[in-house]
Structure 1
Amino acid sequence: MTLMRKSSGNKLTAMMQVRNESNRYLRLVLDDLSSYVDEIVILDDGSTDDTVAICASYPKVVSLGRSRTSLYGVNERALKQRLFRRTAATFPDWILAIDADEIFESRFKREVRGMINQTEIDWYAFRFYHFWHSSTHYRIDKLWAPIQYGPRLFRYFPNAVYHWNHQALHGGSVPQNVVTDFPGIPSDLRIKHFGYAGSPEETLQKYKFYISRDPNSDFCPRSHYDSMLDPDPVLELWREEDEEG
């Protein structure tokens, strides 16, 4: 199998699944993505609010699919595969897998074109910072300290075979063989995750959802779930690179 790598002019396509995001961070995320990606592909997972209309209002959203019922936490593999196929149909060179509550630090916009316009590296992993009941502070204690997760930015090869994790939940955002079959590196660039930045009540609802879908902790340790309800988490103030002294 011949894998073609372009050293310049690569098209960057963001892919994102959404569900009932209209009153959360969707506009913020789409505004940010629209400033540096070439195209955006979205799969709606059974939203009952204005999520689809918001997505459709962005010119860079070139593909917008809809599902009548939600697959998240039920058959995440099928959901990811549908999104991936829709993305592949737009002929991307690189794919950025991102959620509707995630934003890269500002430095990413300045560096991403250099990252994708080369022929040696096929994927990048990034450090995740979980903002906790705040848009200014992230959590650093226990299981929530910033670490590098799997790849989120990867080169797409039309003739490659991609395999997805079979888990119903927490199965990863990109094909599981990206790391094993292609050369990549961890990056020091940071992703701000706002999934827990809302109220404690919202975190409690997320906790109940995870417990209901993963009662035996098949996909994540129960201690990690329980730590979501810690009444006194250790937080640290976020600073953009340009603000750091």
Structure 2
Amino acid sequence: MTYYRKATNNKLTAMMQVRNESHRYIRQVLDDLSEYVDEIVIVDDGSTDDTAAICASYPKVVSLGRSDASLYGINEMALKLRLFRRTLATRPDWILAIDADECFEPRFKDDVRGMINQTLLDWYAFRFYHFWHSTTHYRVDKLWAPVQYGPRLFRYLPQATYRWNHQALHGGSLPMNLVSEFPGTSSSLRIKHFGYAGSVEETLRKYQFYVSRDPNSDFCPRSHYDSMLDEHPILEPWVD
């Protein structure tokens, strides 16, 4: 099938799921997104704090869905589909899938318009840098090393068929057939992930959550989960 691809004036829409983010990084993430995206779509996955109110206070948040019960770690595909469909209702040209604890490095905002206003590529993948108990140093050992690329930015083609991973956990942020069926590339731009930048106690809670939701390691090797508890991980300082 031949798809029509706009070369100019493409609208960039960020989509993000959130849950109990008010004391974490949500303001930093929304401040950053507001500088370069056109619209933001959010699904609040059962927050019990004022996360939804914070999100609603940002003018570029044009769609905010809420649920009473969390689906994360239970039926992740249903959660991703709900977010995706809400995003499609805003008629995006390009979609940036980003988490509430992630920010791109500063030069992304200068380059992103050139990336989306072209007709050859339909997606971009990025390296993730996992900041570890710090917002200045990231981890470089084991599977935490920033060598894996993950697609997070893609062109929405209304006539295309998109398929999602059925996993309950770690199913990916974008359609599973994106990389195999559409042209794209890996970018040198970097994503800063602050999910493990907090205290040791916070990391322990994340570890307990994952192993309770994935006791047989169906979705991730147990050795990777266990490495969250390493007492002496190898870190390097971040340089913009």
TM-score of the two chains, using structure 1 as the length reference: 0.97
- Partner of residue 26, structure 1: 26
Q: Distance in 1 between matches of 2:168 and 2:190?
A: 27
Q: Which residues of structure 2 form unaligned runs of 5+?
A: none
- Partner of residue 88, structure 2: 88
Q: Which amino acid aligns with 2:222?
A: R
Is 1:200 matched up with 2:188?
no
Q: Distance in 2 between matches of 1:149 and 1:222?
A: 21
- Partner of residue 78, structure 1: 78
CA contact (8 A) 2:127 2:150 kept: no
Question: CA offset at residue 67 of structure 1?
Answer: 1.0
Query: What do you get for the CA RMSD once the two structures are aligned?
Result: 0.6
Q: Which secondary structure state, in structure 1, belongs to the residue aligned with residue 229 of structure 2?
A: coil
CA contact (8 A) 1:125 1:148 kept: no
- Partner of residue 107, structure 2: 107
Question: CA offset at residue 150 of structure 1?
Answer: 2.4
Q: Distance in 2 between matches of 1:235 and 1:195?
A: 15
List structure 1 segments (4+ residues) > 3 angstroms apart after TM superposition: none
Question: CA offset at residue 21 of structure 1?
Answer: 0.3
Q: Which amino acid aligns with 1:44?
A: D
The superposition leaves residues 89-125 of structure 1 with CA deviations (integer Å, 9 ceiling, x where unpaired) of 0000000000000000001011000000000000000
CA contact (8 A) 1:148 1:186 kept: no
Question: CA offset at residue 37 of structure 1?
Answer: 0.2
Question: CA offset at residue 181 of structure 1?
Answer: 1.2
Q: Distance in 1 between matches of 2:181 and 2:90?
A: 23
CA contact (8 A) 2:25 2:100 kept: yes
Superposition map of 1:171-182 within 5 A: 171-182=171-182
Superposition map of 1:1-245 within 5 A: 1-240=1-240
Q: Which amino acid aligns with 2:51?
A: T
Q: Distance in 2 between matches of 1:41 and 1:121?
A: 23
The superposition leaves residues 178-215 of structure 1 with CA deviations (integer Å, 9 ceiling, x where unpaired) of 11111000111100000000000000000000000000
Question: CA offset at residue 26 of structure 1?
Answer: 0.1
Q: When the two structures are aligned, how many residues end up with a matched partner?
A: 240
Q: Which secondary structure state, in structure 2, belongs to the residue aligned with residue 147 of structure 1?
A: coil
Percent identity (aligned): 80
Q: Distance in 1 between matches of 2:2 and 2:64?
A: 31
Q: Distance in 1 between matches of 2:70 and 2:127?
A: 28
Q: Which amino acid aligns with 1:183?
A: P
Q: Which residues of structure 1 form unaligned runs of 5+?
A: 241-245
- Partner of residue 243, structure 1: none
